[in-house]
A and B are shown apart, each in its own frame.
Chain A
Amino acid sequence: MILQGNSWKFGDDISTDHIAPGRLFHLRSNLPELAKHVLVDAREDFAPNVKKGDFVVAGSNFGLGSSREHAPTIIKIAGVSAVIAKSFARIFFRNCVNIGLPAIIADTDKIDEGDKLEVELSAGVINNVTKGIKLTFSPLPDVMTRILADGGLVEHIKKNQGFNL
């Protein structure tokens, strides 16, 4: 599958508080509504303008902080096809796998705001169409690949009546 869209660029250390702030705690059981504010505390122009298929592209330690799974979930609901960062915080990365949002580790210095990207997940390639360059990334560990392939952890458990890792 090839994912296509444009890049939205973020810096280092984007926390789950930036993505899904505590002051919007009361919207956590209304995820479509919360998604209208996704990443609001990092970039106010993101949520109103993001297009289906676009990419969140960031520096290091993306998703640090709280375990709130609402953070990757609303990024997915907003239509983002993948998050690409230099590195991820542990819980956020695992949550992405569980909810079926691709989280890709790559050298994002080679991607600028607005660049048109095509990502081939299975091949581990990001094609920066705007710049005419290709970036590569390593596949996930097997366990995570299996969960993602089933469409996330809920589907994995349903399909296998438990873990089948």
Chain B
Amino acid sequence: MGKTIVEKIISAHTGKEVSAGDFVVADVDVVLAQDGTGPLAVRQIEKMGFDTAALPEKTVLFLDHAAPSPKKELSNDHITLRNFARKTGVQVSDIGDGVCHQVIPEKYLNPGEILIGADSHTCTGGALGAFATGMGSTDVGVGIAMGKTWLRVPETFLFRITGEFQKGVYPKDLILHIIGTIGADGATYKAMEFAGPAIKAMEMTDRMTLSNMAVEAGAKCGLIASDAVTKTFLVERGRGDKFVSITADEDAVYEKVFDIDVSGLKPTISFPHKVDNTRTIDSPDCAGVKIDQVFIGTCTNGRIKDLRIAAGMLKGRKRHPDTRLIVTPASREIYGQALEEGVLKIFNDFGASINTPGCGACVGVHQGALGDGERCLATQNRNFQGRMGNTKGFIYLASPAVAAATAIEGVIADPRKYL
């Protein structure tokens, strides 16, 4: 019987052939924690009596959710992580270096590896053909100390994606469409595997958008087979030698298969307060919805291609006077590119506020908390009540193109007329 991607990767890390439903203890290759979850992981490691890290070169503590720190308590949490790193030799990704899920593929993760992270969107790494999954601080603390974790091998839902995206429609619209269709718990405990010609044709940046949001359907991971696109991504970052081909067997066993043709998709928006509460742009519900804040950034859509798309639309235009725009590049690499290409100048001329690479406004810690009754249209992955720092705020999720059009018009807007 053939194996799915997740079965293959976990088998290779346990020294035996495993299949869906098995419980195993597996070796991990890369471990991440961030400034919200890392301090608790450090305290748990100390409670267990460990004072070393198993994989110091491949364990990374990210100062990204509160970067730079807006409060003394969070600065003290940063001290906890810095001290732990000094003691154990694990890596610190400092303020301004970027969001964990962007930096991990850029610098640390390779196909076929297992990544565990104390952050739910760790699943982003699945885009490289790695098994990447989010866990809590204690699990990740064990991973840091011992280089191991326990896993139940998940069943896989296969998403076969065909067709070509129409102008103004992007992989973000596809993943919002999928979650809107199967629901926010539609893939709970399962592996999502994205395959088919439309995935083959997709750049790494877009694959990461899909994998990133797998957890919004409840999934454990969002996997994509590694291929020439993966190899190029690694070669560009000096890790071409780390490429391995990871694919599912022809006769792999899937719990469910979904066939989706992207040709018919339209710009899609998730309405408050649930990711699966989706509408297409032509829905009457989208007409005239006033937006106070537009936010372009995050581990979902804060990459250079996203910034280029938005900047291309905003060039030579001015933002709507009642709508503010916040732009947060996802990493230092992206910030540098955007700087060099003049993309940041376009945002600045448009009237945007440009933030330090990191999570920024996404998690409601700082850099863009909403006021009472305010509406934000964001390129992030989550619109739960209270997410952006205020339970009385309303969050709409969309692609960078919808975000740019909205910043121009001040209401939820169709990007296609600006392309």
Contacts and interface: CB of A to CB of B under 8 A. Distances in A.
Interface of A: 13, 15, 17-18, 21-23, 25-30, 41, 60-61, 64-70, 73, 87, 89-91, 94-95, 98-99, 141-143, 152-154, 157-158, 162-163, 165
28 contacts: A13-B274, A17-B385, A17-B387, A21-B364, A21-B391, A22-B388, A25-B363, A41-B385, A41-B386, A41-B391, A64-B184, A65-B120, A67-B118, A67-B120, A87-B185, A90-B219, A90-B220, A91-B120, A91-B134, A94-B135, A98-B139, A141-B152, A143-B152, A154-B44, A157-B142, A162-B148, A163-B150, A165-B150
A153 B387 contact: no
A143 B146 CA distance: 18
Given A143-B23, A153-B138, A25 B369 contact: no
A157 B119 CA distance: 22
Given A60-B185, A89-B188, A98-B139, A65 B77 contact: no
Given A163-B25, A165-B150, A23 B218 contact: no
Contacts of B219: 90
B25 A165 contact: yes
A73 to B, nearest CB: 8
Contacts of A165: 23, 25, 150
A28 B370 CA distance: 21
B126 interface: no
Interface in B38-55: 39-40, 44, 47-49
A13 B148 CA distance: 31
Contact of A69 (B117, B138, B369): B138
B139 A94 contact: yes
A162 B138 contact: no
A67 B139 CA distance: 11
A65 B217 CA distance: 10
Interface in B377-419: 382, 384-391
Given A25-B66, A67-B122, 9 more contacts: A13-B274, A21-B386, A28-B36, A28-B77, A29-B76, A98-B139, A99-B138, A153-B142, A163-B25
Nearest to B66: A25
Contacts, number: 145
Given A69-B40, A165-B25, A98 B386 contact: no
A22 B77 contact: no
Contact of A141 (B23, B47, B71): B23
B137 A61 contact: no
Contacts of A162: 146, 148
B189 interface: yes
B366 to A, nearest CB: 9
Contacts of B188: 61, 87, 89-90
B218 A69 contact: no
Q: Top 7 A-B pairs ranked by shortest CB distance?
A: A69-B136, A22-B364, A26-B73, A95-B136, A61-B185, A41-B386, A22-B363
B37 interface: yes
Contact of B136 (A26, A30, A98): A98
B218 A61 contact: yes
Interface residues on B, range: 35 or more
B74 interface: yes
Contacts of A29: 39-40, 73, 76-77, 80
Contacts of B134: 67, 91
A98 B143 CA distance: 13
B390 A23 contact: yes
A21 B392 CA distance: 13
Contact of B387 (A22, A94, A142): A22
B37 A69 contact: yes
Nearest to B43: A29
Contacts of B286: none
Nearest to A92: B136
A95 B138 contact: yes
Contact of B138 (A15, A143, A152): A152
A111 B41 CA distance: 35
Contacts of A90: 188-189, 218-220
Contact of A18 (B71, B382, B385, B388): B385
A94 B39 contact: no
A28 B365 contact: no
B327 to A, nearest CB: 20
Nearest to B44: A154
A45 to B, nearest CB: 14
Contacts of A65: 120, 382, 384
